[in-house]
Chain A
Amino acid sequence: MSLRYVLGRLLFFLVVVWAGVTLIFFLPRLAPDRDPVRERLGMMVAMGGMNAENVERLAQAYEAKFGLDKPLWQQYVNYISDIARFDLGYSLAKFPTRVVDVIAPAVPWTISLLGVSTLIAFSFGSLLGGLLAWPGAPRYLRFLLPPLFTFSAIPYYLLGLILIYLFAFKLKWFPLTGGSQILTMPSLTFGYLLELIYHAILPALSIVLSSIGFWSLSMRGMMITVEGEDYITLAEAKGLPSGRIFLWYAMRNALLPQTTALALSLGTVLSGSLLVEIMFNYPGIGSALFAAITGFDYFVIYGIVFLIVVAIALATLILDLIYPLLDPRIRYQKG
């Protein structure tokens, strides 16, 4: 693939990140009389932790430290240079913990849950969708279509709610919340690993069940279009075995637009899984975001949003760079 294409996608990535970062900077400042520092201190006074007179002096000290008393453009420049060094500031609720230290422990949980669930849903969904469109496939698979349809219309987290109630509360097959048992210390033993998986099954299940419908339906659509193509007819006329045509001719070509659909839906999938984490109290980014929202911890909120924007932009970039490798036609077009 051409250098121009790569540079173009990189530029897009930087523009998206810049747009997200600027949005995070300006939006809070557009709201009238919003002063996170004073609000926070006011709350601490109300909880009886501080003398009211000193609050004003403390607020001014904070502002000087965070640079909130400087002109706006200077704040912006400081902000951008901080972000570039991944200095996301200090958490308001857990001062003096840095925002990165609040977010960092949550990231592996989210990546593993999201990654595994999406991988399972995408692969099984695509396979199922392909089979549904293939005349030679078993007939009973058609019966899966209506429930898949129904599930794909339900938002992830609502499905999670139902699953919690049914399987965790009523039937007590799975734990109600959390990533692991409360008093267990993390260790690299097999027992801990099993526990992690045990706690992750329900959240993963709600993501998988709800998104598998979408993947299989869209794959089915692609496969139907591909089946009408001439090369499939040629392959059948050549006498190739049906399974081989299915995998290497039909599925392989239908996977290309499916991958595009994956790239476009990354944002939705991430948002959905964040809400699932909140429902399950799973200790990932979702729960961290929720805690930050309820605790009015603005800097953590902005930090998490920044992380989400960068993650999605990066994933889109990677998929955009992989796509020409999968589809040679793109390589010559985008030259």
Chain B
Amino acid sequence: MLASGLFTLLLMVVLWLIGYFSVDIKLAAPLSAPTDLPPSREYLLGTDSAGRQLLAVMIAGTPTTLQIGLIAGALGMFIGTILGFTSGYFGGVVDSIIRSAADVALTVPALAVLVVIASVINKTLSPEILALIIASLAWMWPTRTIRAQVLTMRERAYVEIARLSGLNNFEIIFKELVPNLLPYLAASFVGAVSSSVLAAIGLEALGLGPQSEPTLGMTIYWARYYNGLPRGMWWWWAPPVIIIIMLFISLFMIASGLDEIANPRARRTTA
């Protein structure tokens, strides 16, 4: 499972690299080719209504989308890990505060808040700012799950021994708890990246993404904006959709695979 996920992702990266070195990215700009052309030998994926060459758009846009997901996922994981460890290990009032805040934040639907934020910022939106916005809503789930894991691990014997041998709290966290949680953190990270990419594409499909970048979600947005669907211009929206699907499937498989490693109990599911 893990292997196939990594393999798919690697395949996509290799294909992208080939494309990056063989196609000029500047062709992803509007008016670089005649508009509304179906795929041909000269324009391998056709062009859209603004004159962008879609093959170049895919090659330019995919890393941007992935970049948003990675930044948001990493930032969300970072905050979530710190809060989760603090909350789970130290307990008490700190735990109650962090847990309640995370619960409330989890219940408020992310898309709603994202729409409010993005509709306000609008003009100066860049992929980095979009990533920051998404990260602000990505920390809750890692916080909760990491906290749960820390709670179970806190009472284990090796932690007690570490405490008795004179390690202070931070040393215990970093030297004993984190290494044991690494597979779990990795699985959480991939999950966070996956949901960040989902949120980013959702916002972009609404038209709230960075308007000047040819990301995958914005391409879908423009396809709908210029009525590409009823005009039968499948080459406009199908490539981004396929890339997105492949990306999600590979991330999902990687996350499941990591989950299996982190959670040996799940491995005996041969039913």
Genuine A/B complex: yes
A235 within 8 A of B: no
C-alpha gap A152/B194 in the complex (Å): 13
Interface digits, B95-135 against A, CB 8 Å rule (1 contact, 0 not)? Answer: 00000100111111111110111011100000000000000
Residues of A within 8 A of B229 (CB): 161, 164-165, 169, 176
Report the bound CA distance from A178 to B133 in whole Å: 32
Is A278 an interface position by the 8 A CB rule? yes
**Residue B269 is within 8 A (CB to CB) of chain A in the complex:** yes
B234 at the interface (CB under 8 A from A): yes
| Contact of A305 with B112 at beta-carbon distance under 8 Å, contacts A165-B234, A264-B106 already known | yes
Is B205 engaged at the interface, CB distance under 8 Å to the other chain?
Answer: yes
Report the Cα distance A302→B120, complex, angstroms: 11
Place the interface of chain B in its size category.
35 or more
A148 contacts chain B at the CB level, 8 A cutoff? no
- With both chains docked as a complex, state the minimum distance between the C-beta of A36 and any C-beta of chain B, in angstroms: 9
Interface residue ranges of A225-261 to B (CB < 8 Å): 227
Q: B252: nearest residue on chain A (CB-CB)? A: A153
Q: Which residues of A contact B244 (CB under 8 A)?
A: 155, 158
Q: Say yes or no for A154: interface residue by CB 8 A criterion.
A: yes
Kindly supply a per-residue 1/0 record for chain A positions 203-224, scoring 1 wherever the CB is within 8 Å of any chain B CB and 0 otherwise.
0000000000000000011001
A313 at the interface (CB under 8 A from B): yes
- Per-residue 0/1 for B222-247: is the Cβ within 8 Å of any A Cβ (1 yes, 0 no)? 00100001101010011001001100
Question: Which stretch (A18-26, A45-53, A78-86) binds chain B?
Answer: A18-26
Choice from B119, B224, B234 contacting A301 with Cβ under 8 Å: B119
B-side contacts of A221, CB under 8 Å = 266, 269
A202 at the interface (CB under 8 A from B): no
* B230 adjacent to A176 (CB under 8 Å): yes
Stretch at the interface among A98-106, A112-120, A180-188, A289-297: A289-297
Q: Would you give the 0/1 interface string for A247-284, flagging 1 where the beta carbon is closer than 8 Å to chain B? A: 00000000000000000101110110011001100000
B120 touches A27 (CB 8 A): yes
- Tell me how far the C-beta of B2 lies from the nearest C-beta in chain A, rounded to whole angstroms: 14
Q: Is the CB of B198 within 8 A of A155?
A: yes
Residues of chain A at interface, number, CB under 8 A:
57
- CB-CB nearest in chain B for A157: B205
Closest Cβ of chain B: how far from A11's Cβ, in Å?
10
Contacts of A165 in B (CB 8 A): 229, 234, 237-238
B106 contacts A275, C-beta separation under 8 Å: no
Contact of A309 among B112, B208, B251 (CB under 8 A): B112
A34 within 8 A of B: yes
**Chain A contacts for B109, CB-based, 8 A:** 266-268, 270-271, 308-309, 312
Is the Cβ of B108 less than 8 Å from the Cβ of A16?
A: yes
Give bound CA distance, A154 to B240, whole Å.
13
Nearest-Cβ distance from residue B205 to partner chain A, whole angstroms:
6
When chains A and B are docked, how far (Å) is the Cα of A234 from the Cα of B119?
A: 58
Minimum C-beta distance from B68 to chain A (A): 15
- Report chain B residues within 8 Å CB of A23: 108, 113, 116
Taking the closest CB of chain B, its distance from the CB of A231, in whole angstroms, is 18
| Structural contact, B117 and A27, CB atoms closer than 8 A | yes
Q: How far is the CA of A143 from the CA of B237 in the complex (A)?
A: 30
* A153 nearest CB across to chain B (Å): 4
In the complex, 19 of the A-B residue pairs with CB atoms within 8 angstroms, ordered by the A residue number, are A15-B100, A16-B107, A24-B116, A133-B271, A135-B271, A154-B248, A158-B244, A165-B229, A176-B229, A220-B271, A224-B269, A264-B106, A267-B111, A275-B111, A275-B205, A301-B115, A305-B116, A309-B108, A312-B108
B residues with CB within 8 A of A: 100, 103-113, 115-117, 119-121, 198, 201-202, 205-208, 220, 224, 229-230, 232, 234, 237-238, 241, 244-245, 248-249, 251-252, 266, 269, 271
- Taking Cβ atoms with an 8 Å cutoff, the residues of A that contact B are 12, 15-16, 19-20, 23-24, 27-28, 30-31, 34, 132-133, 135, 149-150, 152-155, 157-158, 161-162, 164-165, 169, 176, 220-221, 224, 227, 264, 266-268, 270-271, 274-275, 278-279, 289-290, 293-294, 296, 298, 301-302, 305, 308-309, 312-313, 316
